[in-house]
Amino acid sequence: MRDEDFSRSLLAWYDANARDLPWRVRPAERVARIPDPYFVWLSEVMLQQTTVAAVTGYFRTFTERWPSVTALAGASDADVMAAWAGLGYYARARNLLKCARAVVSDHAGRFPDTEAKLLRLPGIGPYTAAAIAAIAFDRPATVMDGNVERVMARLFAIEAPLPATKPALKTRAAALTPAHRPGDHAQAVMDLGATICTPRNPACGICPLRAPCKARERGIAADLPRKSPKKPKPTRHGIAYLARRADGAWLLETRPEKGLLGGMLGWPTTDWREAAPDPAPPLPADWHDPLLEVRHTFTHFHLRLSLRLATLPADMPGPFVAAKDFRPSDLPTVMRKAFDLAQGALNQD
């Protein structure tokens, strides 16, 4: 199959089967309106490392509350971090704000329309720059995510393992990117990977690319892409201190900007390390050990966080959040798990 025929088959499939996503302008609507670069950027940042299902609610919340990049740039750090809570990878939320403010201050509130200029914005890496250039501005950029890598590995039966084979897969994807409708082409490959050429059970029988697909022909589609074995994740240990004052206020701190969960609200904790943690209570109190442990997995390690609980007098000074202002949904997932686990024990006190 020639590259033009390949692209034509894929676009015809996309015209009939494009997923309905809240940030997407579907092919039939594209004549009347163009995708909003703010929506494209926001959705692509949110979608890194997670799924459409997990992102949809957050996307709606953000765009209702901050309908433009200018509105987002004017939001407070605390409000944006709280709205992001639960979505993980919190450096993305900090960079989101930095980027929105740079678009407003350096580009008069309009996203630049080339990959090179987009790459100069905070938090925009090669993937996001290519996605915005292709989807919002219809540039022939090569957008590589896990779905696209899988489709390329199978189409060309590339058996060398990831991640070493990423550049070869990108070269293949770039060669297939057409000059006509490159934005829809990029979304079509991603949709194909998400709905037909899925990791475990590719539906080759209904795939628009079944004719040229080499992995299907050789019967190895489900085995690709191969992956180099991952190093096992280490386990780190820490202690989290949950304290409530007699007036119902909670002892909470904003974590330092740099580092894991940076800028997020959380319970005071010790350092997290592979050896047993040294206790480091945030203030003197009758801390008791309810023998409860939160388990959470980050990208590079597993965490076991044991809890210490205390009830404090109403006049205890410190970084307390009043009961009326405290929303567990403002906490990142690991901190919310600690809160959920501690609830029962604290209520028995």
Query: What is d(CA 111, CA 133) in angstroms, rounded to the nearest whole number?
Result: 10
- What is each CA distance from 49 to 22, 27, 36, 70, in whole angstroms? 18, 26, 22, 26
Question: Of the two residues 158 and 252, which places its CB atom closer to ligand SF4 in the complex?
Answer: 158
C-beta of 142 vs 147, nearer to ligand SF4: 147
Q: Is residue 155 helix, strand or coil?
A: helix
Q: Which of 244, 331, 318, 332 is nearest to 282 (CA)?
A: 318
Least distance from ligand SF4 to the Cβ atom of residue 193, Å:
8
DSSP-assigned letter for residue 312: E
165 vs 269, which CB is nearer to ligand SF4?
A: 165
Helix (H, G, I), strand (E, B) or coil at 237: strand
Bridge partners of residue 273, in order along the sequence: 237
Q: How far is the CB of 32 from ligand SF4 (least distance, A)?
A: 31
Specify the amino acid at residue 32: A
133 sits near ligand SF4 (criterion: CB under 6 A)? no
Position 25: which residue type?
V
Q: Considering beta carbons, is residue 13 or 250 the nearer one to ligand SF4?
A: 13
Question: Looking at 81, 215, 251, 265, which residue binds ligand SF4 (CB under 6 A)?
Answer: 215
Among 24, 94, 154, 170, binds ligand SF4 (CB under 6 A): 154
Q: Which of 44, 115, 257, 274 is catalytic?
A: 44
Q: Which positions from 218 through 247 interact with ligand SF4, judged by CB under 6 A?
A: 221
SS3 254: strand
Q: How many residues touch ligand SF4 (CB under 6 A)?
A: 15
Take residue 41 and report the two structure tokens written for it.
């950027």
β-pair partners for 320? 251
- Hey, which residues between 5 and 34 contact ligand SF4 (CB under 6 A)? none
Residue 87 binds to ligand SF4 (criterion: CB under 6 A): no
SS3 322: coil
Residue 128 vs 142, nearer CB to ligand SF4: 142
Out of 117, 210, 296, 337, which residue is the one contacting ligand SF4 (CB under 6 A)? Answer: 210
Q: Which of 320, 317, 309, 332 is nearest to 248 (CA)?
A: 320
Q: Mask of contacts with ligand SF4, 168-207, x by CB under 6 A?
A: ----------------------------xx----xxx--x
Min separation Cβ 94 and ligand SF4, Å: 37
Query: Quick one: DSSP state of residue 233?
Result: P
Q: Which stretch binds ligand SF4 (CB under 6 A): 17-25, 27-35, 179-187, 208-216?
A: 208-216
CB of 197 to ligand SF4, least distance (A): 3
Angle at 90 between CA 235 and CA 262, to 5 degrees: 80
| Choice from 10, 25, 46, 151 touching ligand SF4 (CB under 6 A) | 151
Q: Is 296 helix (H, G, I), strand (E, B) or coil?
A: strand
Is 44 part of the annotated catalytic residue set? yes
Q: For residue 59, which phi and psi values (nearest 5 degrees)? A: -60, -45
- Which of 93/204 has CB closer to ligand SF4? 204
Find, among 333, 12, 337, the residue nearest to 188 by Cα. 12
Interface ranges with ligand SF4 (CB under 6 A): 151, 154-155, 196-197, 202-204, 207, 209-210, 213, 215-216, 221
Catalytic site positions: 44
